[in-house]
Amino acid sequence: MSLKGLLSSRNTRSAPFAAGSAMSDGERLAMLDELEQSGLGWFWASDASGHLTYLSAAIAARLDVPLGELIGQPLPTIFAAADREERGKSLALMLGAHKAFAGMAVRAARRPEGTVLRLSGQPVTDAAGHFIGFRGTGADITEEYHREEETARLARYDSLTGLSNRHRMAHNIEATLTAFRTARRNCAVMMIDLDRFKHVNDTLGHAAGDELLKQVAARLTRAIDRECEIGRLGGDEFQVMLPDVDDRGVLGDLAMKIITMLRQPYSLEEGRCVIGASVGIAIAPHDGVTRDEIVRAADLALYASKNGGRGQYRFFSGELENETIFRRRLEQDLGTALREEQLFLRFEPIVEAAAGTVSSLEAHVCWNHADRGIIDEEEFAQIIEGSALLADVGRWAIAAACARACDWPDTVRIAVNVPVPLFLADDFVTLVADAVDAAGIAPSRLELEISEAVFFGDASVVDRALAGLFKLGVRLTLDEFGSGYSSLAYLRRAPFDAIKIDQKLVAEAERHDSRELGLVRAIVALAGALQMDTMAGGIESAGLLAALTECGVRYLEGPIFSEPVDAAMVASEMADGAWKIDPGAERTRRARRRTVFRKIQVIHDDYAYEVTLRNLSRTGALIQGLADVPKGTQFVVDLGGGQLAVATVIRSNGDVQGLEFEQSLIEDGSGGLCTRNRVSPYALAAAGTPLAPLAPGKFLGIDQGTAVPKFGYAGAARAETV
């Protein structure tokens, strides 16, 4: 149909193109032709069945579709809603209703990324009142639409990374949890905070920080290979929502994958940098039912992971708030510990591979706390990480280590790990010189282990400190080399005497052997070319010891030789002038025992017994408090917070029983253990209790009076339940 035909077929009551009294039909037709050609107004028409009968040629040109291919086609197959989320009106429904419509944004179905039109239409009837089709207009609103779309996108997405922003994440978590409560589905939330990001921002500039955040977002997207929603909440904080996941084994593996990917080096225009990440994990409805509850739980878990030494993940538990308060109190007590000499050193032997003798000892700081007792080197390192007193503890450690070393043979060195804030302090070289002079030892007997993180500081400060230490004559070791971000520039720039291979690389070499051992050989060859020694720590097995020795590593350290020992033990072993250690294949690193001597419940035949948990491993536990328990007895062990583990007694000696778990426990991300799954709050709600997060402490809450106990308690009274 031509424009002239379109005009002649109009109905005077409903046609949108009503004639003016002073203009002839020819003049009106000419005016409409000019209007179409100018692009200010376009027209279309359809028959009663919704097939296109007329379209301005200008519209077809804008749509980049030949006009002949459009005429006669159903209108809904020509135009599709421009709203990508399909929240707009349906053109087919509007046409089928035979009602006027206006302002509908559409695109060509064949060119979904092309021109956007705003269509308006009005039904037309003949003289008898029968519906004969639509007449309408169209306008090109592409630029306007994209501006509005961008405005809407910015309201929902982070402009820097393209990830969901805080508002969108909050809305989606709220909507998801609301829907999942009805469907009895689980949902996990991860909070991710970047470690050392502020340092990059401060040293390389905000432009570098922005580019770094973009790369972090890209890595996060690659790391999570399952359905999820990833958002940036602002600054260096990210959030991930993972629907239908409550398996803490799966979540722990994913968190570790994220941490590993984010700590790899970043190449920026302003320079090369390395950061890390800490992750907190909470699961709905176990840790919270509402959005506020689950986000707060994930935040607490994140805070705990950062306090635990960073570069970790942590699951939420009901004990975290108490743990956080306790850790803050410990940090506050550090000042007292320094003033009242509560800190002391333990020494880990470093053995020269060829001779098998101790060439140096690495100093580790421990704490004899007035109330808690001995806090070992591992836990103390977690407490001091990020503390304002980190540098002060480092000062004390250097002075105390040098003072101890003066009692040892002159051939034995003392190694001290240097905190980054202390290394960057203006008086660092002076305090090292004073410590050496006060102890009366040769400067070469002091070995300072320096992290690559110091090189992210002010270059002039770093170079001045390195030059001063070199002039003083102390030995320098580059710590954690091969951790994934080592740079040859550091070795060229600094007068290092040795390279200490990262323990993670050493551990991987033991597990996978080939590629990682090749890297170890390459590091040894590099060190040899630069006339530097090599050192490897964390060695537990005879096989790994043999492999590292074969690779040419000169100095070796780890449980296969000795755990850290006190000063008296060192003095005793050094009494004859040398300390030779034969590696012992039976020696292994002692397991972390966060749950030793905790009161728990075990359930047998509907009766709950309160016992003491003495030891806990992945595969079993040691309990104390019950008498006359035969081997083969099955218990349900209540570890608190909905963590139930089925276990069988495999050893029984008096009031002590050794249990073997039916399903192994998993790492909780901070050196502890937890069950893979927990009792579902949905199952409890089905039994008539309100839906609520799992409470800390004992879970089953079985009344001891509901069944006859089969086993007696050893001792005068039962232990109280925690």
Note the pLDDT of residue 500. 92
Handedness of CA 415, 421, 422, 424 (dihedral sign): positive
- Taking 80 as the threshold, does the pLDDT of residue 17 lie above it? no
- Taking 60 as the threshold, does the pLDDT of residue 719 lie above it? no
Contact 245, 190 (CB under 8 A): no
State the pLDDT confidence band at 42, using cuts at 50, 70 and 90: confident
Distance CA 154, CA 305 (A): 32
CATH 3.30.450.20 residue spans of the chain: 3-149
Distance CA 639, CA 119 (A): 65
Note the pLDDT of residue 715. 57
Distance CA 352, CA 366 (A): 26
- Taking 90 as the threshold, does the pLDDT of residue 534 lie above it? yes
- Residue 67: which of 118, 2, 117 has the closest Cα? 2
State the pLDDT confidence band at 209, using cuts at 50, 70 and 90: very high
CA dihedral 287, 289, 293, 299 (to 10 degrees): 40
CATH 2.40.10 residue spans of the chain: 598-713
State the pLDDT confidence band at 103, using cuts at 50, 70 and 90: confident
The residue type found at 356 is G
> Taking the mean position of all CA atoms in its chain, how far away is CA 380?
23
- Taking 80 as the threshold, does the pLDDT of residue 680 lie above it? yes
State the pLDDT confidence band at 18, using cuts at 50, 70 and 90: very low
State the pLDDT confidence band at 594, using cuts at 50, 70 and 90: very low
What mean pLDDT is predicted for residues 202-212? Answer: 88
CATH 3.30.70.270 residue spans of the chain: 157-318
CATH topology for 598-713 is Thrombin, subunit H (2.40.10)
Distance CA 56, CA 701 (A): 77
State the pLDDT confidence band at 718, using cuts at 50, 70 and 90: very low
Note the pLDDT of residue 322. 60
Lowest mean pLDDT among 46-60, 488-502, 539-553: 488-502
Distance CA 46, CA 123 (A): 9
Q: Which residue has the higher pLDDT, 229 or 151?
A: 229
- Taking 60 as the threshold, does the pLDDT of residue 85 lie above it? no
| CATH number for the domain whose boundaries are 341-573 | 3.20.20.450
Q: What is the pLDDT of residues 160-175, one digit of tens each?
A: 999 999 999 999 999 9
- Taking 60 as the threshold, does the pLDDT of residue 197 lie above it? yes
Contact 638, 698 (CB under 8 A): yes
CA atoms within 13 A on the CB side of 232: 21
If one counts every other C-beta atom within 10 angstroms of the C-beta of residue 85, the result is 6
What mean pLDDT is predicted for residues 193-208? Answer: 85
Lowest mean pLDDT among 287-301, 308-322, 411-425: 308-322
State the pLDDT confidence band at 590, using cuts at 50, 70 and 90: very low
In the predicted model, what is the mean pLDDT of the chain? 84
Note the pLDDT of residue 19. 46
Lowest mean pLDDT among 108-122, 190-204, 622-636: 108-122
- Taking 60 as the threshold, does the pLDDT of residue 721 lie above it? no
C-beta pairs of 7-11 under 8 Å, 24+ apart in sequence = 7/32, 9/132, 10/124, 10/135, 11/124, 11/125, 11/126, 11/127, 11/132
- Taking 90 as the threshold, does the pLDDT of residue 188 lie above it? yes
How many Å from the N-terminal Cα to the C-terminal Cα in the chain?
86
The residue type found at 341 is E
- Taking 70 as the threshold, does the pLDDT of residue 585 lie above it? no
- Taking 90 as the threshold, does the pLDDT of residue 371 lie above it? no
Lowest mean pLDDT among 250-264, 294-308, 395-409, 691-705: 691-705
What share of the chain in percent tops pLDDT 70? 84
What mean pLDDT is predicted for residues 361-365? Answer: 96
Note the pLDDT of residue 357. 94
Q: What is the 3-state secondary structure (H, E, C) of 284-315?
A: ECCCCCCHHHHHHHHHHHHHHHHHCCCCCEEE
Note the pLDDT of residue 343. 95
Lowest mean pLDDT among 261-275, 312-326, 423-437: 312-326
Q: What is the pLDDT of residues 550-566, one digit of tens each?
A: 999 999 999 899 999 99
> Taking the mean position of all CA atoms in its chain, how far away is CA 230?
12
Distance CA 608, CA 605 (A): 8
What mean pLDDT is predicted for residues 702-710? Answer: 63
- Taking 60 as the threshold, does the pLDDT of residue 16 lie above it? no
Q: Which residue has the higher pLDDT, 318 or 104?
A: 104
According to CATH, the superfamily of the domain at 157-318 is Reverse transcriptase/Diguanylate cyclase domain (3.30.70.270)
Q: What is the pLDDT of residues 622-650, one digit of tens each?
A: 999 999 899 999 999 998 888 999 999 99
Q: What is the pLDDT of residues 443-480, one digit of tens each?
A: 999 999 998 778 776 778 888 999 999 999 999 999 88
Distance CA 509, CA 520 (A): 8
Lowest mean pLDDT among 184-188, 327-331, 430-434: 327-331
CATH architecture of 3-149: 2-Layer Sandwich (3.30)
State the pLDDT confidence band at 587, using cuts at 50, 70 and 90: low
What share of the chain in percent tops pLDDT 90? 45
Note the pLDDT of residue 617. 85
Residue 188, CA distances (Å) to 277, 280, 303, 317 in order: 18, 10, 17, 14
What mean pLDDT is predicted for residues 404-409? Answer: 93
Q: What is the pLDDT of residues 57-77, one digit of tens each?
A: 888 887 778 888 889 999 888
- Taking 70 as the threshold, does the pLDDT of residue 327 lie above it? no
Note the pLDDT of residue 595. 40
Contact 650, 634 (CB under 8 A): no
Note the pLDDT of residue 716. 38
As given in the structure block, the two tokens for residue 560 are 């296969």
Distance CA 310, CA 209 (A): 20
